[in-house]
Amino acid sequence: MSPVDGEGGPPQAVPSDGKAAIEAAGAARRRAGLVGGLRRFATAPGPKPDGRQNAQAPAVAGPPPRGEGETCDLCGTSLPPDHRHLLQLEERRIDCSCEPCWAMRSGDTEYRPVGTRTAWLPDFELSGERWASFAIPIGLTFFMRSSTAKTVVALYPSPAGATESELDMGSWDALVADNPVLEGLDTDSEGLVVNRLSDPHQYAIAPIDQCYALVGLVKSSWEGISGGTGLERAIAGYFDGLRQRAAA
């Protein structure tokens, strides 16, 4: 299967439900080492206030090549399409997990179980000026509080993979003041998903594996320089799925 349509090719099937989106992201990850290599792709927008420059970035080997079926990233057992995910905190990587591993490992300091709620935020306030203060070059991102980074990070997709930047906390605090719903954003396990490519703009709080699924979806459906119509459909399908889960 090619990860991209040819120009003017047939519409690519777009997974609209969350599980399918996650597995599509998992497939993209295996194709490109995307999530395992997030740190490798990470770029900093400029010097950090304390001079750090992603000094903690480890040399991450991509996941080993695998067959078609999903397997548990912890023990290698094969998994049904409907399975759990854990966030590996240090690398901010989503691992697929079988039930026994989930039960054994979700209390580990290394892992955090992904969140369970999806909340659609139709009244979210984010002015153009405040958005600009985050210096995110694409209108599609998610924000998460990271316990390992000890700050709020934004992850946004690009054809090359995910790019990560640490937010200016003053701008984030102002965003929280405008949107008190963000006070309840769980550290590590959930994120705020932002779509400023749509009209009106779309916002939701989603489990962190769903947030990463957006990044994988964009990478797997990007075509040409501008992204293309396959990408537009994929993004629309992803956000429709979020809205439906929030209403369920």
Which stretches of the chain bind Zn ion, using CB under 5 A?
26, 72, 74-75, 96, 98, 101
Give the residue with the Cβ less far from Zn ion, 21 or 72: 72
CB atoms within 10 A of CB 222: 21
CB of residue 19 vs Zn ion: minimum separation in angstroms? 8
CA geometry: angle 160, 225, 237, nearest 5 deg: 75
- Per-state percent for the chain, helix, strand, coil, to nearest 5: 35, 20, 45
Report CA-CA distances (Å) from 197 to 140, 146, 191: 7, 25, 18
Report the SS3 class of residue 87.
strand
Give the residue with the Cβ less far from Zn ion, 30 or 39: 30
Q: How does DSSP assign 181-207, residue by residue?
A: GGGGPPTTTEEEEEE-SSSS-EEEEEE
CB of residue 33 vs Zn ion: minimum separation in angstroms? 16
CB of residue 6 vs Zn ion: minimum separation in angstroms? 28
Report the SS3 class of residue 158.
strand
Give the residue with the Cβ less far from Zn ion, 91 or 223: 91
Alpha helices in 83-227 (DSSP H): 99-105, 128-133, 169-178, 208-221
CB of residue 81 vs Zn ion: minimum separation in angstroms? 8
Exposure pattern of 176-215 as b/e (b: 16+ CB <10 Å)? eeebeebeebbebbbbbbbbbbeeeebbbbbbbbbbbbbb
CB of residue 136 vs Zn ion: minimum separation in angstroms? 27
Give the residue with the Cβ less far from Zn ion, 71 or 179: 71
Give the residue with the Cβ less far from Zn ion, 24 or 89: 24
Give the residue with the Cβ less far from Zn ion, 71 or 133: 71
Give the residue with the Cβ less far from Zn ion, 20 or 119: 20
CB of residue 109 vs Zn ion: minimum separation in angstroms? 18
CB of residue 211 vs Zn ion: minimum separation in angstroms? 14
What the block records as the tokens of 244 is 């439906």
